[in-house]
Amino acid sequence: MEREGYRVDIAYDGEAALELFANQKYDLVLLDWTLPKLDGLEVCKQIRQASRVPIIMLTAKGEILDKVIGLEVGADDYLVKPFDQRELLARVHVLLRRLPAGLAADSWLQYEELRLDREKLLLVCGEEAAALTANEYKLLELMMKKPHNVFARTYLYEEVWGEMPGYNDRTVDVTISRLRKKLLELSGKKYFQAVRGLGYRLGEQP
């Protein structure tokens, strides 16, 4: 998946999966059926309580009944092991293609009273809303997916602007500054903390 350009997090048991999912936002979930602690079926159910994110179930159990259960429980697709990598990629493609603008799964991201509308490119807080430019949006989306995480400037720059070579600029700072201004006007709060020598974080440190 990473070779195809996707960003990936991995959980090695069901509980870890749910915890990851609770703390960050994902565009798609690949879910094994047989997992330690909590099986994939249960994980799928619980994710479906909170989100409509696309879910693909992977499993060795080829019996038909299982497939039906998996799909009825809320999975969007189902692959039986051993599967072909290209088929997996093709199915991932299909599910992600359904998303408008190739941007995101859930139509909005939330952190505290901030809501980022991923379809309308809008930052909403209570009654008010502010427009974002493309780069501002990308940066904010990235950081709202993992609130409280510290992001290095170089990482932010790479993800939003691409490239790296000869990066000695204050581009990230300026964009953060503009975002801060918009956030401040909306909510009166300072959401971005600078982390000296590293970069930035959204929200306080836990």
User: What residues line the site for its own copies (CB under 8 A)?
Assistant: 64-65, 67-68, 71-72, 75-77, 84, 86-87, 89-91, 93-94, 97-98, 100-103, 119-122, 129, 131, 133-135, 146, 148-152, 154-155, 158, 195-199, 201, 205-206
Contact set for DNA, span 85-144 (CB under 7 A): 131, 133-136
Interaction partner, residue 205 (DNA, its own copies, none; CB < 5-8 Å by kind): its own copies
Question: 56 in helix, strand or coil?
Answer: strand
Q: Under the criterion CB under 7 A, does residue 198 sit at the interface with DNA?
A: yes
Question: 63 in helix, strand or coil?
Answer: coil
Cα 100 from Cα 82, distance rounded (Å) = 31
Alpha carbon separation from 33 to 38, 59, 136, 150 (Å, rounded): 10, 5, 38, 33
Supply the minimum distance, in Å, between the C-beta of residue 58 and DNA.
30
User: How many Cα atoms are found within 13 Å in the side-chain-facing hemisphere of 56?
Assistant: 19
Contact set for DNA, span 147-176 (CB under 7 A): 153, 161, 166, 168-171, 173-176
